[in-house]
Amino acid sequence: MTASTRLAEFTLSTRLADCPPQALVAVRRAALDTIGVTLAGASEPVAQIVRRLVRAEGSIPLCTVIGTRLRAGATAAALANGAAGHAHDFDDTNFALLGHPSVPLLAAALAVAEAETADGAAVALAYITGFEVAAAIGAAVNPAHYERGWHATSSIGTLACTAAAAKILGLDLHTTRTAFGIAASLASGVKENFGSMTKPFHAGHAARNGVWAAMLAREGLTASASALDGPQGYLAAFGGASSLDAALQGLGQRWQLLESGIAVKPYPSCALTHSAIDALLDLRERHHLDPDQISQVEVGVTRVVPTVLIHPRPVTALERKFSMEYCAAAALADGQVTLDSFDDGPPRPAVEKLMSSVSMVVDPALPARREQHAWSRVTLRLSDGRTLEAAPRGALGHPDQPLSDAALRAKFLACATRVLPREEAEAVAEQIDGFEDIPDIRALTARLVGAIDEPERLA
């Protein structure tokens, strides 16, 4: 049996009743976080550029482009919402995927659900199905896949979004298998684009291509049944996976949504900066540090981190999100790292001064397991000769120390109120708390309309 067939069988056979009860709790949290960061990202340049093309090319206006009054076809809406959702790099991650699962999955699922007038339960099941596909493939091919330069959010996420779209569309076994074959040729995305607009575009690219693959298959486009695991297929081209059989056998038995879990971001920067930010904020508060006291900052990281945080002297806001030097300096200078920490202007003198004192070094003593690849340790040397240290640690928001419901809701409101009135944002949060009970997903998406980028405001 080919990998495409096995994925198709899992996609078709999974029912909401088969999923652990806690999976629905995870879906609600993921939906709240994802819709919040998508609203916040809708005004970002990458989202505006994508919408300009969506508007210029036109399509049947079936689906909501979140944060705007623009409506578009399912593939275009999935692209626009995926790009907006990842625009701030504030969306959740998963350590099996080594990427961002929820923005592409929900961008795809919400668009198809609007086009097909599906309910919240269908979207929740599509999300769970797609998440399990992403995590299973990620567990099989990573870390080698990621370390070769592939951005798994897109290169694996395309297959996950195909599963989600196929589930809502109700495709049969043959057509779903074909959709995975088509998706194998659409999957792409390289890490060299980190720190540019193309990085957030990858999330929209995965969502759009997953929807596109499922819809093309429904219309009768053909693909090889062995497009994933054939001698010249996806796995061979993307690095192979000796553990694929075991990963696929675990589908529906081991629920990665709960086992490897979701890491929610408290800071709008690359997840690999977060444990260092946590440690620095903690040291700053506990020792009442003034930035002028700090003469040297050393951040020890795992070997994968320098391949991701590739901008030691960043210029743009997006480059700063992939700079340990900038994120560490901002944390120490301001005592916080928020959406307002990242802009395209010159860095403030206090931040620029601290950046020159930050060094990032690979520490072979740090844990090497995949779920700990984001760990770091921090050493501060002060001008009075003292040395302060933070032991190796993970980050707040990781599955072993999740954000509280209150903290997640606060993050959502801070993001959503950039577009929606507070009362409406709070009502959306209440609605998402019963996500699987929404009778028509348009009852939710109709509330996500804002005035960003209206045609009369375009220059």
- Residues 191 and 194: their CA atoms lie apart, in Å, by 5
pLDDT at position 63: 98
Backbone angles phi, psi at 137, to 5 degrees: -65, -40
pLDDT bin (cut points 50, 70, 90) of residue 306 is very high
Would you give the DSSP letter of residue 196?
A: S
The predicted model gives 36-46 an average pLDDT of 97
Q: Reply yes or no on domain 3-259 having CATH 1.10.4100.10.
A: yes
pLDDT bin (cut points 50, 70, 90) of residue 454 is low
Which pTM value belongs to this model? 0.95
Question: How large is the angle between the packed helices 3-13 and 173-186, nearest 10 degrees?
Answer: 120
How many angstroms separate the Cα of 62 from the Cα of each of 164, 209, 308?
18, 18, 37
Domain boundaries, the chain: 3-259, 271-393
Write the class of the CATH domain 271-393: alpha beta
The predicted model gives 38-46 an average pLDDT of 97
- Look over the chain and give the mean of its residue pLDDT values, rounded to a whole number: 95
Q: What count of other Cβ atoms lies within 10 Å of the Cβ of residue 1?
A: 10
Q: What is the DSSP string of 42-109?
A: TTSHHHHHHHHHHHHH-----EE-TTSS-EE-HHHHHHHHHHHHTTTS-S-BBTTTTB--HHHHHHHH
Query: Residue 155 has which token pair?
Result: 């290169």
Model confidence pLDDT, tens digit, residues 384-417: 999 999 999 999 999 999 999 999 999 999 999 9
The predicted model gives 356-380 an average pLDDT of 91
The predicted model gives 249-268 an average pLDDT of 94
